[in-house]
Chains A and B, each alone.
Chain A
Amino acid sequence: MSDRSELLSTGEPFAFDAERDAEFERLIVRYPIRESMIMPALWMAQEQQGWISTEAIEYIAERIGTFPAKVFELATFYTMYQLKPAGQYHICVCRTLSCWLRDKQAIVDYLAEEIGIRPGQISEDGRFSLEEVECLGHCGTAPVVQVNGEFHEEMDLEKFKALLATLE
């Protein structure tokens, strides 16, 4: 997988909006260990900002009372967290065993050729971004592709081209 440890900064301080602030307070009491709140908080930051910035990670660490490095670990481990602005269509291609064996590479290579994006990149027009992700849990119907969170299973190159056409 690609290195996700190069964080981006917005240059502005981050804080939850009123709605998410209330949501944070509602959820935090559920967790006997406050650090368990890191992952829900990262989701909320991503919802609010579209992606998770350096400032958002620092804010979450401060709010939960943990080390920024710990939030950094989780944000980079899970590929569902967007660490930079995504394209209009964010495509995730599973790269774990079953999908790899069932030729996910054909899809990744096609995207490199046709749209010019490699895993971790966004197309120049901002319409597509690509991430190679670890197991999405649909190994029986490999290879699996996610577009903006929606699963497309038993993909092959032809099906993927057709899928891409619907996004145009």
Chain B
Amino acid sequence: MAELVKLFVNGQEVEVESGKNLIDALRVVGIEIPHFCYHPALGADGNCRMCLVGIEDGRPPLVPACKTPVQEGMKVLLDAEHIKKIQRDVLEFELINHPVDCPVCDQAGECALQDYYMNYSLDDSRMQVAQVTKGKRMDFGCGVVHDQERCVLCGRCVRFTRQITKTGELGIVNRTDAARVSIFPGKPLNNRYALNIVDICPVGAMTSSDFRFRQRVWFLKKDPGICHGCSKGCAIYIDHHREKYKDDVIYRYRARTNLNVNGYFICDDGRLSYAGENENRQTSALADGAVIGFDEGIELVRERLDRARKPLMLISPDCSLEQMWAVQRIATLYGAELSGYSDNYIIDGDGDEYLINDDKAANRRGLELLEIDFSRAQFLTGLQHTDLLVNFNNDLFFGGVDEELKSLLDKTQSIAVCSHQLQVYESASIVLPTASYSEYGGTIINEDNVLQRFEKALFKNEDPKDVLEITRLLGGAINDAPHAWPGIKQSVACLADIDPQAIPAEGIKLQNSEDTNVGA
């Protein structure tokens, strides 16, 4: 925790962290300073002039808050008449050529221009000349659609491509009222983080072709979650909505700030992976291809497991720590071998130095900590000798069909507990539907050893049972995620001191990552 400084805002004393600028420091204590161009990841640019405040210490009457660090005893003026006037004036400037097409704009409801107008201006337009018209619906590439007329020229998008992705596709061309954001002719956005531009654009100038016109943002329920697209475990918001007479579906993911993991951004692959949560889902239990009741399915699985001489269980490296623990327990219960084999989740060379990892498994560290073997050799041997495979949502064909495994799977009696309809589960004689990661809560550990917790975000009309719940129905002793923790703490040394209820939003960086697991 940084040092605290005392300062005065409109005469009222507040205590804030030192080393921050006024916008960031005061936001923590609930005081908003309006701004367009400043973004904590991109630094202070000072071009929008919306954050001008007064500091009563003899400096010029107006200073930009984004470039003003907090100081002990500082007297900040936010509500003086001359400051309110400058805010109204800046907004009037911004709105001169703005189309005010909020009813058809995707940003409406989460738009800084709209919010600030309502909070700080409410003036009528005085313009009697024709507005400057510019480009609409411009395809900037990577699913980013630009509307030059809605733009306030804050330059966040331009700075993002120069500072963060270092690809520099965007620039502000022309000058005066003809100025606009543009790509260089024939060189559209071409990076794997481009859709963050839609997030950081404070207005409706940058929209996502994937999300455009699909849902009004005020209908969306915004729950925190963790992306399961790779072993980075980026913090996200899961924006979902249950329309009347329909089911709860996800409309988009957005980056959630977690300075321990992903900072302010997420990759486009992860952002668009929400679609996988909605589509191609396994929703009913099957026995030899015929739909059966879920309870009936559970009974069948129990019978088969009881009869099996040498059962083999396979768990997905995307499962939560609690689910892994619960599966490990029922594997012991049924005398089954357990594997977390998932080499196919690793796509060599796909990762980069930033937020994309080669390993597409969200919780491989969990397998390691619980000492669940994930070697190919052991899994192959197990598969050759087993008379019953129970696959807990592990997509063995993730990176493409593995012919060697496929021929073995075709010969083996298997049960699939799966969230999605995938080729790998086609050979299963019994299929049980299960929840995917937006539909249960738990903890996962990313490649950098950060433990994060996430809660159940979606509540479907027919709520699928998660892997842990299914282990309970199969006779396991773990009732729910918290119930797994006493056992986990006992067997994994580096988790011994963790209180699962008290994991902060930014997660916990686990210490002593190497060779600390004892017992199990």
Contact = CB atoms under 8 A, between A and B. Distances in A.
A58 B168 CA distance: 13
B178 A54 contact: no
Interface in A34-78: 54, 57-58, 66-70, 72-73, 76-77
A67 B185 contact: no
A5 B182 contact: yes
Given A5-B182, A7-B185, A54-B185, A69 B170 contact: yes
Interface residues of B, number: 23
Q: Identify the interface centre among A66, A69, A72: most chain B CB within 10 Å of its CB.
A: A69
A3 B170 CA distance: 17
Contacts of A76: 173-175
Nearest to A61: B184
Contacts of B180: 3, 5
Interface of B: 134, 158, 161-162, 167-178, 180, 182-187
Contact of A77 (B167, B175, B184, B185): B175
Nearest to B168: A67
A54 B170 CA distance: 15
Contacts of A156: none
A102 interface: no
B173 A68 contact: no
A106 interface: no
A134 interface: yes
Given A67-B162, A67-B168, A67-B169, A72 B175 contact: no
Nearest to A76: B173
A1 B168 contact: no
B173 A73 contact: yes
B87 to A, nearest CB: 25
B163 to A, nearest CB: 12
A141 interface: no
Given A1-B178, A3-B178, A67-B162, A73 B172 contact: yes
25 contacts: A1-B176, A1-B178, A3-B134, A3-B178, A4-B173, A4-B174, A5-B173, A5-B174, A5-B182, A54-B185, A57-B184, A66-B168, A67-B171, A69-B168, A69-B169, A69-B170, A69-B182, A69-B187, A72-B171, A72-B184, A73-B173, A76-B174, A77-B173, A77-B175, A134-B175
B375 to A, nearest CB: 46
Contacts of B184: 57-58, 67-69, 72
Interface in A1-41: 1-5, 7, 9
B153 to A, nearest CB: 12
Contact of B174 (A66, A67, A77): A77
Contacts of B134: 3
A78 B161 CA distance: 23
B171 A69 contact: yes
